[in-house]
Structure 1
Amino acid sequence: MLALGLVLNTVCLGVFCWLIFALAVYAVPFFVAVGIGISALNSGASVIGALFVGIVAGGSTLVMSQIAFAMTRSTILRAGIGAIFSVPAAIAGYHVVLAMSQLGAPSLAWREIFACLGAVSVGATAWMRLTLFAESRPLVPSGAVGSGPQATFTGATRGG
Structure 2
Amino acid sequence: MLAIGLVLNTLGVGLFCWAIFALAVYALPFFVALSIGMTAFQNGAGVFSAMLIGTAGGVLTLAVGQAAVAITRSLTLRIAIATAFAVPAAVAGYQVAFALSQIGMPSLAWREILACLGAVCVGGTTWTRLTAFAEPRPLELAGLVENPSHPVLPVATREG
Question: TM-score over 0.5 for the alignment?
Answer: yes
Which runs of structure 2 are paired with 1:30-49 in the superposition (5 Å)?
A: 30-49=30-49
- Hey, what's the Cα distance between the residues in 2 that align with 1:22 and 1:52? 23
Which consecutive residues of structure 2, in runs of 5 or more, have no partner in the other structure?
148-160
Paired position in structure 1 for 2:14 = 14
> Deviation at 1:132?
2.3
C-alpha distance 23-141 of structure 1, shift in aligned 2 (>3 A): closer
Question: Which structure has the larger Rg over C-alpha atoms?
Answer: 1
* TM-score (norm: length of structure 1): 0.86
- Hey, what's the Cα distance between the residues in 1 that align with 2:145 and 2:28? 40
The reply on whether 1:103 has 2:106 as its aligned counterpart is no
> Deviation at 1:10?
0.2
Paired position in structure 2 for 1:154 = none
Segments of 4+ in structure 1 off by > 6 A? 144-147
Paired position in structure 2 for 1:93 = 93
The DSSP-based 3-state class of the residue aligned with 2:73 is: coil
Which consecutive residues of structure 1, in runs of 5 or more, have no partner in the other structure?
148-160
The DSSP-based 3-state class of the residue aligned with 2:83 is: helix
The amino acid of 1:77's aligned partner reads L
- Hey, what's the Cα distance between the residues in 2 that align with 1:146 and 1:129? 30
- Hey, what's the Cα distance between the residues in 2 that align with 1:29 and 1:38? 14
How many pairs are equivalent? Answer: 147
- Hey, what's the Cα distance between the residues in 2 that align with 1:30 and 1:78? 21
The reply on whether 1:63 has 2:73 as its aligned counterpart is no
* TM-score (norm: length of structure 2): 0.86
